[in-house]
Amino acid sequence: MSVAAEARRIRALRPPKPYVDPFAAHGSTVDEERRPDGTIERALTVFLAGAECPFTCAFCDLWRYTTDAPTPPGALPHQVEAALGALGAPRPDRLKLYNASNFFDPRAVPRADLPALAALGGSFRGVTVESHASTVGADSVAFARALGSTGGTRLEVAMGLETVHPIAAARLNKRLDLARFDAATAFLGEHDIDVRVFALLGAPHVPDDASVEWAVRTVEHAAARGAALVCVIPVRGGNGEMERLASLGAFVPPTLAQLEAVLDACVGIGSTAVTVDLWDADRIATCDDCRSARVERLRRMNVTGRAEPRVSCATCGGA
C-alpha cells in the first residue's frame, strides 16, 4: 500500500473532528521543567490551533486539535499574544509553542508569521517548537537567529523519534528512519539549536513484554545524539487505528507500572533530562487505591531527576 493510501486508510477510521477555531488557542499551562544542567525552569506551553500535520502517523491523537485548511496568516501571533496577555507574574523562563503539527511546515505556520512569533518569544530565556525531522532546515536556523537577535533567546526544536524498534518504526507511517533523525539532530547541533525528543511507550508493533526495553533504548539513542530533554509518552487510543491494531494484537495500551519502569531505568542517562508525559495519566489503567500517589511520584521525579522508592500498595502490590 502506498504512503498516501495508508494515510487515507488511517484517516477513514477516525471519529468526527471537533470544530477548531484557528484564531483561538486550545489553552495554556505553566509547569516546572528540569533542564540538563539541573536548573528548574517555569515553562509556559501554549497549545496552538492550526493546520494538521501531513504525515498521518498511526498512533497520532493530535489531529483532533487541528484545522483541515491551512493556518490563516496572523492567526498564530494572535493566539500567542492572547496567551501572554493572560499571564500573571512572575513571567516564565520558557515559551513552548505546540501546534499539534510541524512548526516549520508553512501550511501550519505561515512564513510571514515567523518574525512576529520570534518577537513574541524574544523576551524568554528559551523557546521550544515541535517539528518532524524532515521539516528541519533553513527556516529553523533563520527562526533561531531571529530569536537570538532580540535578547539571546535560545531555540529548542522538539522532534518525535518515537521508537528505535526497527519493525515498529517502519510501520508507524511516520516516514522517518534513524538516518534522517540523526541528520536532523546533527544539523540542529551544528547551528547551536537545542533538541528535545519524544519517545513512545507502547508503540504499536512492539511486543508488550518488550515495551519498556524499547522505550529505554529509544531514550538512550536520543541522549547519545545530544538531546537536551527526552519525554516518554504513553501511547493512547481513540483514533480508530489504535483500536484496529489492538484487535489484531499489535497494540497493548501501556500501564502505569511500565511508565514507572521506564523513568526508573532512565534516571541518570548522561546529561539528558528524561521525563514521562503525565497528561491524561488518569486514563492509564491501574489500581484506584495507589494511582494518585504513583502519578505524583513520577511528577516529582520529572522535576528533580532523582530516583525515589516505588509506592507500596496492599491492594495491587504496585502492579
Mean pLDDT in residue range 234-245: 96
Residue bearing the bigger pLDDT, 3 or 292 = 292
- Average pLDDT over the chain, rounded to an integer: 95
Q: Other CB atoms closer than 10 Å to residue 242's CB: what's the count?
A: 23
Mean pLDDT in residue range 90-106: 96
Over residues 167-202, the pLDDT tens digits come to: 999 999 999 999 999 999 999 999 999 999 999 999
Side-chain-side CA neighbours of 30 within 13 Å: the count stands at 12
Write the secondary structure of the chain as one string of H (helix), E (strand) and C (coil): CCHHHHHHHHHHCCCCCCCCCCCCCCEEEEEEEECCCCCEEEEEEEECCEECCCCCCCCCCCHHHEECCCCCCCHHHHHHHHHHHCCCCCCCCEEEEECCCCCCCCCCCCHHHHHHHHHHHCCCCEEEEECCHHHCCHHHHHHHHHHHHCCCCEEEEEEEEECCCHHHHHCCCCCCCHHHHHHHHHHHHHCCCEEEEEEEECCCCCCHHHHHHHHHHHHHHHHHCCCCEEEEEECCCCCCHHHHHHHCCCCCCCCHHHHHHHHHHHCCCCCCEEEECCCCHHHCCCCCCCHHHHHHHHHHHHHHCCCCCCCCCCCCCCC
Q: What pLDDT score does 103 carry?
A: 98
Residue 146 has pLDDT above 90, yes or no: yes
Q: What pLDDT score does 318 carry?
A: 67
Q: Which residues contact 67 (CB under 8 A, 6 or more apart)?
A: 20, 22, 49, 50, 51, 52
Rounded to two decimals, the pTM is: 0.96
Q: Which residue in the block uniquely carries the three cell numbers 519525554?
A: 231
CA-to-CA dists, residue 166 to 28, 159, 197, angstroms: 35, 18, 18
Over residues 156-174, the pLDDT tens digits come to: 999 999 999 999 999 999 9
Cα–Cα distance measured from residue 290 to residue 30, given in angstroms and rounded to the nearest whole number: 26
Report strand pairing: 229-234 vs 273-276: parallel
Under CATH, what is the fold of the domain 3-304?
TIM Barrel (3.20.20)
8 A C-beta contact, residue 182 and residue 226: no
Report strand pairing: 194-201 vs 94-98: unpaired
